[in-house]
Amino acid sequence: MTLPTGFTSSVGAALPLHAVRKADFAAWCQAQPAPVQAWLAAQRFDGAAGSACSWPDADGRVAGAVLGVDDLHDPFAWAHAPRALPAGDWRMAAELDGGARRALQLGWGLGLYRFARYKAQPAPAAQLAADGFDAETFDLLAACVRVRDLVNTPTEHMGPDELEAAARAIAQAHGATVAVIAGDDLLARNYPAIHAVGRASHRAPRIVELGWGDASHPHVVICGKGVCFDTGGLDLKAAAGMRNMKKDMGGAAHALALAELVMARKLPLRITLLVAAVENAVGPNAFRPGEVIATRKGVSVEIDNTDAEGRLVLCDALTRACELAPDLLLDFATLTGAARVALGPDLPALYANDEALAHDWLAAGQQVRDPLWRMPLWRPYLRYLTSGIADLANSSNTTMAGSVTAALYLERFVDEGVRWGHVDVYAWNDGDRPGKPAGGEAQGLRAAYALLKARADA
């Protein structure tokens, strides 16, 4: 197994690394040699979560270090380590249980991440050494990095063409098939909503469909919103709201990474990945407020707001997904600012039309420390999507329940009897924190993988 940057299998000269909870620090410290106790006291180290302290030997060289770690099974509890420790190879001084060891390895990798496409990055000074590494953990790390890299890449290098290329590369690596419908062929093949949103851009809109797995296995369809840049359309966003809209393909990034992870781990599932890739641009043929557009399902939609475009591309993708009669349908989308108002930037909103699915996904998130929060499909709010001239409006003139109404819009395109889960995700860190550098972020991805793994193993 090829190790990622920041890891080494050479443990011979590795320095001892301790981990301690603040509540246990006093007892742990008393068991250390007197010089170490004196040094830690001088540094006022108390084992607080997210802290680190190293100490010297008699010759002034680094001899060891201790980390303050609150939850040993939370990867982000370890993520400060690689940038807080002095240069060198480090190994855990005490044996960790399997969950803590995997959390350490994942947290170490997430803590080292920096987007390096346009700016040279120094080699990591601290490396984690171990006798053995967990291959699944490194696949999870690669999936998180995949999301971050895709979201962080500026739109001139991450448009619909590049999203398609990413899907093709993943498919080639894992023996999957890919079919793409683009440009005016979307109209001929009955994807009118995707076409309407993307037609004003010089880069053709498209739907990318990837297939993998044994037909005898449970069929999971994963959909992703791939709006590679969102100006808001003719309902133009303000500059502050448009600044980070390269991230509006974050749902597609999550869907791609999840499909890749399932394939890499060879889960006994059949996977179909659907990515609706567009740029919501302003131009002479941009779709307009007040227009009525067609959808693949045959539901007519009045455009209340051209900035509510993600649900338009997703509704055609969800219709296609239901035509495949999946056992499970999941979608990811950076769909609404309202979800962030309700839950903040770190907690994705989960909607589901199946109680068992919602329960299992939330439980998986808690288990792997990748939480989500369930929001209600409160169907009385469908009244906010009433149109006087079409079957449905794509938005409403109220600021209330924005994330709920967006999810209700999507549910209108999910066939009865299809178990469906939708994640309204931010896919972004607004500032730097250990293991969570500013920029693109994977949220709910590890929980989704744990959900699918548990169902595949059942």
Q: What is the pLDDT of residues 19-70, one digit of tens each?
A: 999 999 999 999 999 999 999 999 999 999 999 999 999 999 999 999 999 9
CB 377 within 8 A of CB 408: yes
Q: What single DSSP character describes residue 72?
A: T
243: pLDDT strictly greater than 90: yes
Tell me what pLDDT residue 132 has.
81
274: pLDDT strictly greater than 90: yes
Position 15: which residue type?
L
Cα 397 to Cα 388: distance, rounded to the nearest angstrom: 14
Catalytic annotation, residues = 237, 311
How would you classify the pairing of strands 301-302 and 373-374?
Answer: unpaired
Helix (H) or strand (E) holding 290: none
Tell me what pLDDT residue 458 has.
74
397: pLDDT strictly greater than 90: no
Position 26: which residue type?
A
Tell me what pLDDT residue 358 has.
98
Q: Mark out the alpha helices in 52-120 (DSSP H runs).
A: 75-78, 81-84, 98-112
Question: Above pLDDT 90, what percent of the chain?
Answer: 94
Cα 446 to Cα 143: distance, rounded to the nearest angstrom: 9
Residue with tokens 């399997």: 98
Tell me what pLDDT residue 418 has.
98
Cα 329 to Cα 325: distance, rounded to the nearest angstrom: 9
Q: Hey, CA dihedral for 303, 197, 184, 179, is it positive or negative?
A: negative
How would you classify the pairing of strands 206-212 and 270-280?
Answer: antiparallel
Helix (H) or strand (E) holding 29: helix 25-30
Tell me what pLDDT residue 379 has.
96
Mean pLDDT in residue range 277-290: 97
Cα 270 to Cα 446: distance, rounded to the nearest angstrom: 19
Tell me what pLDDT residue 124 has.
74
188: pLDDT strictly greater than 80: yes
Confidence of residue 103 (pLDDT cuts 50, 70, 90): very high
Position 292: which residue type?
V
Q: What single DSSP character describes residue 346?
A: S
Q: Mark out the alpha helices in 281-325 (DSSP H runs).
A: 310-323
Q: How many CB atoms lie within 10 A of CB 174?
A: 17
131: pLDDT strictly greater than 80: no
User: In this predicted model, what pLDDT tens digit does every residue of 110-120 receive, in sequence order?
Assistant: 999 999 899 88
Tell me what pLDDT residue 125 has.
79
End-to-end CA distance of the chain: 28
Mean pLDDT in residue range 240-269: 97
Structure-block tokens of residue 452: 């699918």
Q: What are the residues whose beta carbons fall under 8 Å from the beta carbon of 324, sequence distance 6 or more?
A: 219, 221, 272
Position 318: which residue type?
L
308: pLDDT strictly greater than 90: yes
Q: What is the DSSP string of 141-186?
A: HHHHHHHHHHHHS-GGGSSHHHHHHHHHHHHHHHT-EEEEEETTHH
Q: What single DSSP character describes residue 382?
A: G
172: pLDDT strictly greater than 90: yes
Q: Mark out the alpha helices in 43-97 (DSSP H runs).
A: 75-78, 81-84
75: pLDDT strictly greater than 90: yes
Nearest to 142 by CA among 265, 244, 246: 265
Collapsed DSSP state (helix, strand, coil) of residue 336 = coil
- For residues 352, 353, 356 and 357, what is the CA-based torsion angle, rounded to 10 degrees? -40
122: pLDDT strictly greater than 80: no
Confidence of residue 158 (pLDDT cuts 50, 70, 90): very high
Tell me what pLDDT residue 233 has.
97
Structure-block tokens of residue 142: 């690669």
Mean pLDDT in residue range 176-197: 98
Mean pLDDT in residue range 383-400: 94
Confidence of residue 130 (pLDDT cuts 50, 70, 90): confident
pTM for this one?
A: 0.96
Tell me what pLDDT residue 52 has.
97
